[in-house]
Structure 1
Amino acid sequence: MASNTSETKIKLDFETFFNVIDGQLCSSSTGLTRFTVNPATLEENASVPVSTIDDVNKAVQSAQNAAKTWASTPWSERQKKLKAYADAFEANAEGFLQMLLNEQGKSIREAQIELWLTLTFLRGTADLSLPEEVIEDSDKRKVLTRHVPLGVAAGLVSWNYPIFIACVKFASALITGNAIILKPSPHAPYCNLKIAELGLHFFPPGVLQALSGDDNLGPWLVEHSGINVVSFTGSVGVGKRVMESCSKTLKRCVLELGGNDPAIVCSDVDIESTAPKVAYFAFANSGQICTIPKRVYVHESIYDKFLSAMVAYANSVSLKQDENPSIGPVSNQPQYERVKELLADIEKDELTIAAGNTKPPEGKQGFFLSPTIIDNPPDNSRIVTEEPFGPVFPVMRWTEESDVVQRSNDTNFGLGASVWSRDIAQADRIARQLQAGTVWVNTHAEVDPGIPCPGFKDSAIGVQYGVEGLKAYCNLQTLFTKLD
């Protein structure tokens, strides 16, 4: 629970929204604004600024000035401020919860999970450290390595977990002595602006800033010569463009991109308990999470019973955000149209629909789609090869271990995977053959601030979370002292 300090009594106003530049709440330099709609009700949200290149330049200059002093602030002091920030964030949890519902459309339970994850990572990241490592200490020489901050980071945040992703980025940047400018998705800008606004009470001006904008804002930040590292979460296509732009100024980049995680279910699982768990993970946040099962492979000996149990779970899921189990709408109209197009392709190819529907539910306002399961589609169908990022996934049969491993690895994605079995030796044997950054056994998508989250293939460049994630915001320096 939050500590009883004056900082935790800070009350944010969730009615008006501004950029945060150089310790001030600012409108765009042109006064231009835009807004999003609540994906569940289609009602208009509040106005937010549309930043200009002048706003970007001011924020970068402020961050450069702040980074010099912040880098020299002792690690213990940075930890203290980050933990105090976490307490104040918790005190404002109800406001963040309601705003998250309005801008992203999660169910209430999913929104509560995001806030819990955020607090866990804010406090967990604050407890991490990067001590100097002595390589040699002899009478002739002393050699050690240390990590020094890069300077100014840009955090490009996706719309599916806007609070959690933004806080992971800024906590990792700030604890290592960097300044950061958050750039929220145009589809979910509100909570990110409030995250930076809350930071005004804890961090020096310029250390934590946020800019809202349109599609021009990301390229302006990525290409800016005053930015030293870009942390981007989003699609593979945009990630490739970010990396290409970073190469022009040789700035570092950390990319967490798409996933098409396989979940391999072995023949010995307890169907009654396992099937709802796998289905829960697959439908979490309406399927809009990079690291959740997107392809489920079930051993043929239990396939029919396991599929039936997953269908039963899908049929129990409500589209009312205040019920449990439930899912919210797809978060924004562009993604809604993409998923509908994929569902239309499923219908055109006459694939077998075990649960749900390829059409939006009748009489339901907002970007809602029914939880949908596709029964044993061909391996080359779009629902298998693409990342849906919506509440629809395929379930397929497997017989031989070597075959299911090959099919699981037959993708350009490599973010996560899971194996479900009571035979831990079998699960470990399969897990070690999977080409994914994280492989879970008997769970999926569990994360921890102390555990790194890497990715293979097109799914990631660099690492997030844990000590390895902190290193992404640092230069490694060797100090070599000759004593002889």
Structure 2
Amino acid sequence: MHINGDFVRAADGRTFETFDPSTGERITEVAHAGAEDVESAVRAARLALDGPWGALPAVERGRLLGRLADLVEANAAELAELESRDGGKPISATTSMDVPGAVAQFRYFSGWPTKLEGRTIPVAMPDTLCYTRPEPVGVVAQILPWNFPLLMTSWKLGAALAAGCAVVLKPAEQTPLTALRLAELVVDAGFPPGAVNVLTGAGETGALLVDHPGVDKIAFTGSTAVGREIGAKAGAQLKRVTLELGGKSPNIILADADLDAAIAGSYQGIYGNTGQACYAASRLFVHRSRFDEVVSGLVERASNAVVGPALDPATEHGPLISAQQYERVRSYIVDGVASGATLHGDVPPADPSGFFVRPTLFTDVKPDMRIAREEIFGPVLVATPFDDLSEAVSHANDTEYGLAAGVWTRDVGHAHTLASRLQAGVVYLNSWASGDPAAPFGGIKSSGVGREMGQEGVESYLESKTVWTSLASQCLHTS
């Protein structure tokens, strides 16, 4: 673990193993943080906030974030391999997307510290100066998912450090390695001890952080079920939260869409990262006149997909993260078949040699089926035809989730009309999963609370303090 600038073992000596999803083999042992370690990390963060980290000028915070971006870029090949080994993500993706994306996030947030300004307010009271100060919310616990470990770290860490917060970071127990390597780079960049602490451990470690009275804010990305628990605890303690949770995102293809682009985008939208993405385009709605053509195109692409080990440069789709996740996804596929949906593909074997699931598609899906309503978090797509826009909107919004939605059409009027009617935090028009560090991301309904990235992402780590000053006595004294 990384506490107060040093790498340390767990106070009670506990460890856990992390595995390579491509082989199922053990990579290494990692320290398992307990209550004493959580106490040490939160204390270190508070001392840094009240001391050298909190005293740094804004321009220096920006310089350190820029230096961290440079170091991530300089160590890109190593970080990409770590991410692929630990998480099963194809090396082509970690090299081209995850690591460059993390660099871009840290670079973007490095510009924010010197842009955080308060306001002078023209109040009605005479001889009075009233102004606001944006101040860091305090010590932040950031609890990360296993599907985009390094990228999610950069989203959260960059914004919090730009705002001046001190951080206790807990990576997912399945993917701790890039967070630990990043901690070394944080030291090399010159951040004061305690500004960034990394606690490795399981769910109990995260729960200890959520409950700790010294933590002022919790930022969590993960399942809706766990997000509800964290939200309830934070509400009882009146702690600030940002929750980026699950999704069952609708993707709508209208009759006039560019079908080649729509099929390619829809394929990547659900099967990218082996379907292990909160924003995955897992519910496809296609105008009935184009339905068979779209389904045929997707099935053809899926049948030719290269599924294999993460470090093979030819691999398009790597393994699922774990045996547990493999069984979860397999159970949904089995249930879909049993419910009467038509499976285009094969049911994964009960005794696999690895955690590999090929891209899978269902048609003849009824709205009440589990595969149509629940987040599977795997390469499983359900496709349904529709006849008019109102029907498409009704189907799309018939879910507890509200993270992302997509529309494919050549009609600008239809595109923006649907964008206004779809219940989602992010809408993609003729694309899927477009992103930029400057653009906020997050969901509504059961998909979360708050936004990450962009100005909104930085502001979520700030509190606004209002300062009132009476100038009357000073004016009288001067006169």
TM superposition score normalised by structure 1: 0.92
1:137 positional shift? 7.6
Q: Which of 117, 122, 136 is 2:122 aligned to?
A: 136
1:238 positional shift? 0.3
Which residue is equivalent to 1:156? 143
Q: Which of 298, 314, 331 is 1:341 aligned to?
A: 331
1:323 positional shift? 4.8
Distance 1:416 1:97 in 2: 27
Which residue is equivalent to 1:359? 348
1:144 positional shift? 2.9
* 2:158 maps to 1:168: no
Distance 2:241 2:389 in 1: 37
Distance 1:414 1:135 in 2: 37
Distance 1:477 1:420 in 2: 45
Which sections of structure 2, spanning at least 5 residues, go unmatched?
473-479
Q: Is the alpha carbon distance of 1:436 and 1:234 closer, same or farther for their aligned partners in structure 2, counting shifts above 3 Å?
A: same
Question: In structure 2, the residue corresponding to 1:200 is in which secondary structure?
Answer: helix
* 2:106 maps to 1:122: yes
Which sections of structure 1, spanning at least 5 residues, go unmatched?
1-18
* 2:260 maps to 1:260: no
Q: Which of 354, 374, 385 is 1:386 aligned to?
A: 374
Q: Which of 62, 67, 71 is 1:84 aligned to?
A: 67
Q: Identity of aligned pairs, percent?
A: 33
RMSD (CA atoms): 1.7
Query: Which stretch shows the higher mean deviation, 126-135 or 340-349?
Result: 126-135
Q: Which of 75, 98, 111 is 2:58 aligned to?
A: 75
Distance 1:422 1:370 in 2: 31
Amino acid at match of 1:277: G
Distance 1:438 1:395 in 2: 21
Amino acid at match of 1:146: R
* 2:466 maps to 1:478: yes
Say whether the 8 Å CA contact 1:110–1:284 is kept in structure 2: no
Q: Which of 460, 467, 474 is 2:455 aligned to?
A: 467
1:324 positional shift? 5.0
Distance 1:180 1:352 in 2: 48
Distance 1:375 1:20 in 2: 49
Which residue is equivalent to 1:146? 133
Q: Give the helix-richer structure, 1 or 2.
A: 2
Q: Which of 306, 316, 328 is 1:326 aligned to?
A: 316
Please list the CA deviations of residues 384-420 of structure 1 after superposition, one character each: whole Å capped at 9, or x if unmatched.
1011100111111011111110111111100111111
Which residue is equivalent to 1:93? 76
TM superposition score normalised by structure 2: 0.93
Question: In structure 1, the residue corresponding to 2:282 is in which secondary structure?
Answer: strand
Question: In structure 1, the residue corresponding to 2:400 is in which secondary structure?
Answer: coil
Question: In structure 1, the residue corresponding to 2:73 is in which secondary structure?
Answer: helix
1:365 positional shift? 2.9
1:72 positional shift? 2.8
Which residue is equivalent to 2:43? 61
Question: In structure 2, the residue corresponding to 1:293 is in which secondary structure?
Answer: coil
Question: In structure 1, the residue corresponding to 2:289 is in which secondary structure?
Answer: coil
Please list the CA deviations of residues 343-389 of structure 1 after superposition, one character each: whole Å capped at 9, or x if unmatched.
110121231123x2222499x63210011011241111111101110
Q: Is the alpha carbon distance of 1:265 and 1:216 closer, same or farther for their aligned partners in structure 2, counting shifts above 3 Å?
A: same
Say whether the 8 Å CA contact 2:73–2:100 is kept in structure 1: no
Distance 1:483 1:397 in 2: 69
Distance 1:143 1:400 in 2: 55
Give the aligned length: 464
Say whether the 8 Å CA contact 1:375–1:396 is kept in structure 2: yes
